[in-house]
Amino acid sequence: MKIMVTGERGYIGAVLVPMLKEKGYKVVGYDSGYFSDNLLERFDEDYQKITKDIRDITMEDLDGVDGIIHLAGLSNDPLGEFSPKLTEDINYNGTMNLAKKAREAGVSRFVYASSQSMYGVSNTTTELDEDDSEKNPVTAYAIAKWNAEQQLHSMSTDDFVVT
């Protein structure tokens, strides 16, 4: 099975890729490479890497991909507030474009990394529940993540499963 990991050189992707390879998956890494110089370790070079912006994904990039684990994007609330428009363009528009092309290319699974930022400031002292707790996204990052999550779930079908 061929799995594309977007944001593969980020703090989650850097751990996930070796785990997938160890389990026998063929991995395609997709990352802009903006922070590659900040990695503590050199990356294993024994897998296909695509270095470009997530907004520039093509059908050719998705050729033969069975599943996507989508981690790419501007990664936190402070960075998102630096340029709310850019945050929306990358984290929402880039995600939706990726998902639409993936579905068109025949990718069958799309895993989207959610964020605790969607809950905003909670008005309760009880533990939050992923499905039942009220969402209150207040930053550009949180709003883009929440909007993308809602749209992605509406795209899910038997042939294109979004989780």
Point out which residues pair with 162 in neighbouring strands: 110
pLDDT at 44: 64
How many CB atoms are closer than 10 A to CB 70? 23
Q: Which domains does the chain have, with CATH numbers?
A: 2-162 (3.40.50.720)
Query: Would you tell me how many other CB atoms lie within 10 Å of the CB of residue 160?
Result: 18
How far apart are alpha carbons 48 and 30 in whole angstroms?
9
pLDDT at 37: 63
Quote the pTM value. 0.87
pLDDT in tens, the chain (163 residues): 999 999 998 889 989 999 999 999 999 999 998 766 666 565 667 899 999 999 999 999 999 999 999 999 987 757 767 888 999 999 999 999 999 999 999 999 999 997 655 555 656 666 655 566 565 667 888 889 889 999 999 999 999 999 9
* CB atoms inside a 10 Å sphere around CB 99: 23
By CB atoms closer than 10 A (0-12, 13-18, 19+), residue 38 is: exposed
